[in-house]
Structure 1
Amino acid sequence: MKLKSLITAAAVAVTMGTLALGTAGLAAAQQALEKTDIKIAVGGKPLLYYLPLTLAERLGYFKDAGLNVEINDFGGGSKSLQALIGGSADVVTGAYDHTIQMQAKSQPIVAVTQLGRYPGIVLAAVNKAGTVKSVKDLKGKKIGVTAPGSSTNFMLNYVLTSMGMKPEDASVIGVGGGPSAIAAIKRGEIDAIVNLDPVISQAQADGDITILADTRTEKGTMDVYGGPYPAAVLYMKPDFIKENPKTTQALTDVFVRTMLWLNKASTEDVLKVLPEEYFLGNKSLYAQAFEHSKPTYSPDGRFTQVGAEAALKVLKAFDPAVASASIDLSKTYTNQYVEDALKRLQK
């Protein structure tokens, strides 16, 4: 029995060491962090768009990196951006688009880790309203987005523009990214919706929507944007990076570690980590939603120039400030911290 116990203990030790996924390699990055108490803003934390943030939190990766993180959840990406600009947040998990828009406003922010390689955003007609049969019918209609000025709003703007319309040709209504969005659909308060999973999968399963455009896949992203399109990222002000390079590296390590875990995880692995309230009362449906969205996640956190150029092209189409500005894409993102993290985590 003693021998069996020793063998079991040894096996457990080996397993724990394997699950650590480079924890020892992260130790160096934890030394003398300039800032350990970090406020992260996000616009719709339960959305699958931001799944890596919740996974990092619940897997204990922030704690492993020596970070004490407070996550503040807002109604949409534009509000989390405001928190960063206003100083109530240190960093944001939000849409890459904002890095380009803010450079056009001479308020630079920099993305240091890519979480999503496809947007995962879906445009759908609300069946109860019965007023939208195709994208051409959106003019003059009420369209629900997570929040005005968010990435869901940007997709709508681009789709309208590509059809020869203007962003102001439709009325935009913020409906959030959870039960409030489902409620707006079921009450027929909006004619169409631009949202993400699990909201979209829930509404589709209930027969409440008809999908018109879907960027949860590479093909769908190509159909809408004509190329790869960066989605959720970790971004912050250049001053934060300059004053806190080790903390920036530690944050990047956390998210790269999460992306590597997610890349290998099964659906069941993911569901075990998440809180029950994320499932909107239907765990099996959430599982389907995750599987729909899994292709959208970055495999390693790296950015591509092609993706950045696609985002710039799209924003120029409907944002006059971006169209008239001279944008230096090299200042909107950096792979420096991701590459450093990968060197240690993939050993």
Structure 2
Amino acid sequence: MNRWWQPAFWRALLLLAVLGLGQAPAGAAERLVLMVAGLDKQIYLPVRLAAHLGYFRDQGLDVELQSEGSGVNAEDVLLVGGAQGVVGAYDHTLDLQARGKAVQAVVLFTLSPGEVELVANPLADTFTSPADFKGRRLGVTGLGSSTNLLTRTLALRHGLRPQDYKVVPVGSGASFAAALAQGRIDAGMTTEPLATRLIHSGQARMLVDLRTPEATLKALGGPFPFASLYMQTAWVNSHREQVQQLVTALVRALRFIQQRSPAEIATALGMDDGLERNLYVQALTESRAMYSPDGFMPAAGPPHVQKVVAAVNRTVRDRPVDLSRTYTHEFVRVANARLGPLQ
């Protein structure tokens, strides 16, 4: 699908103009722009922590985080040069390679999608499994997004065809919540902490849980590594020092998640006491198992991701994809060595 008309494309061009094509003043650290497919999402917590805790600064980096509600729009910004990296779903690297774009994940954040399929509470009794998607309007962040991929995968695994249901792009966060509340969608896929907030408020019930590796294995039939930092391969090869600094900061943030309680993590993010903090801590407690402790890609992950993607994505199905070029362990290996054993 040609997406160059979308707003993210034009924002990327404006960003290029504002940043002067990425050039920094002499003697200043080069500014690196990372597009995050929803900065408030817990699946992307490591990059948020790295910024809040000063880990990027400790590596001598000037990193600007920009939030884009849909990963498919974030990748467009990357391809036109408006950002040096995307904090988004690993499966995008397969689709991009199949379309002739060389990108690779340089560090993995989550071992599972961290997503949930929610059903609007008034309709909850009519849903028992994704087989009940038939005839329904299903919310996803965007067409071509990973939530779209996962929604179609769940439907396929329960015997449905794409024409049996309607996928509706509604974005994430507040726009997703509004679509559910207004009845524009019957069910939809979102992530934490929004999922816990909607369940707690009585607006939705959970139908499918993809937050932990165990739940993902049950729902998708295999591992599905998800959140990552991916970058254009050419940029990685020409900026190895900056990539190493980025990855070291992010692996340090992954270690922080392993070493601190959910409550301590909320404090590190500057969250005040109250309901929002409590719900954030609850959500993090229930999904904490999804985080990689070291940033490495599990060996069984990419082949199963390819299998899942190829089942619903004709481009990936019909064109060769070299999985070894969709990720690299070079930088996480060095980062873990520099940081020493995980305590």
TM-score, normalization by structure 2? 0.87
Report how far residue 275 of structure 1 moved: 4.5
Report how far residue 142 of structure 1 moved: 1.1
Aligned runs of 1:169-180 on 2, under 5 Å? 169-180=164-175
Aligned runs of 1:191-206 on 2, under 5 Å? 191-206=186-201
Query: 1:229 is matched by which residue type in structure 2?
Result: F
In the other structure, the counterpart of 1:51 is 45
- Kindly indicate whether residue 290 of structure 2 is the aligned counterpart of residue 292 of structure 1: no
Tell me whether 230-239 or 199-208 shows the greater mean CA deviation: 199-208
| Runs of at least 5 residues in structure 1 that lack an aligned partner in the other structure | 1-32
Q: Does the CA contact (< 8 Å) of 1:143 and 1:192 recur in 2? A: yes
In the other structure, the counterpart of 1:337 is 331
Q: Does the CA contact (< 8 Å) of 1:129 and 1:190 recur in 2? A: no
Report how far residue 174 of structure 1 moved: 2.6
Q: Please tell me whether Structure 1 or Structure 2 has the larger radius of gyration of its CA atoms.
A: 1
Report how far residue 345 of structure 1 moved: 0.3
Tell me whether 56-65 or 163-172 shows the greater mean CA deviation: 163-172
- Kindly indicate whether residue 245 of structure 2 is the aligned counterpart of residue 258 of structure 1: no
- Kindly indicate whether residue 144 of structure 2 is the aligned counterpart of residue 185 of structure 1: no
Query: 2:277 is matched by which residue type in structure 1?
Result: K
Q: Does the CA contact (< 8 Å) of 2:247 and 2:335 recur in 1? A: yes
For residues 42-75 of structure 1, what are the alpha-carbon distances to aligned partners after superposition, in whole Å with 9 as ceiling and x for unaligned? Answer: 1111011111111111010111111111111112
CA change 1:126–1:199 in 2 (3 A) is same
State, as a whole percentage, how many aligned pairs show the same letter: 35
Q: Does the CA contact (< 8 Å) of 1:108 and 1:238 recur in 2? A: yes
Report how far residue 34 of structure 1 moved: 11
SS, match of residue 128 in structure 1 = helix
In the other structure, the counterpart of 2:222 is 227
Q: Does the CA contact (< 8 Å) of 1:47 and 1:177 recur in 2? A: no
For residues 110-150 of structure 1, what are the alpha-carbon distances to aligned partners after superposition, in whole Å with 9 as ceiling and x for unaligned? Answer: 00100011111111221234664431121231111222222
Tell me whether 106-115 or 118-127 shows the greater mean CA deviation: 118-127
Query: 1:97 is matched by which residue type in structure 2?
Result: D
CA change 1:53–1:339 in 2 (3 A) is same
| Runs of at least 5 residues in structure 2 that lack an aligned partner in the other structure | 1-26
Q: 1:134 is matched with which residue: 120, 129, 145?
A: 129
Q: Does the CA contact (< 8 Å) of 2:98 and 2:321 recur in 1? A: yes
Supply the distance in 1 between the matched residues of 2:88 and 2:274 (Cα, whole angstroms): 23
Supply the distance in 2 between the matched residues of 1:315 and 1:216 (Cα, whole angstroms): 19
Q: CA RMSD in A?
A: 2.0
In the other structure, the counterpart of 1:28 is none
SS, match of residue 69 in structure 1 = strand
SS, match of residue 319 in structure 2 = coil
Query: 1:93 is matched by which residue type in structure 2?
Result: V
Tell me whether 183-192 or 333-342 shows the greater mean CA deviation: 183-192
Q: Does the CA contact (< 8 Å) of 1:118 and 1:218 recur in 2? A: yes
Query: 2:199 is matched by which residue type in structure 1?
Result: Q
Supply the distance in 2 between the matched residues of 1:153 and 1:140 (Cα, whole angstroms): 16
In the other structure, the counterpart of 1:323 is 317
Supply the distance in 1 between the matched residues of 2:74 and 2:318 (Cα, whole angstroms): 25
Report how far residue 165 of structure 1 moved: 2.1
Query: 2:255 is matched by which residue type in structure 1?
Result: L
CA change 1:77–1:98 in 2 (3 A) is same
In the other structure, the counterpart of 1:267 is 262
Supply the distance in 1 between the matched residues of 2:111 and 2:274 (Cα, whole angstroms): 25
Aligned runs of 1:26-105 on 2, under 5 Å? 36-105=30-99
Query: 2:229 is matched by which residue type in structure 1?
Result: L
For residues 270-310 of structure 1, what are the alpha-carbon distances to aligned partners after superposition, in whole Å with 9 as ceiling and x for unaligned? Answer: 11122549x99522111101111211111110012200111
TM-score, normalization by structure 1? 0.86
Q: Does the CA contact (< 8 Å) of 1:167 and 1:318 recur in 2? A: no
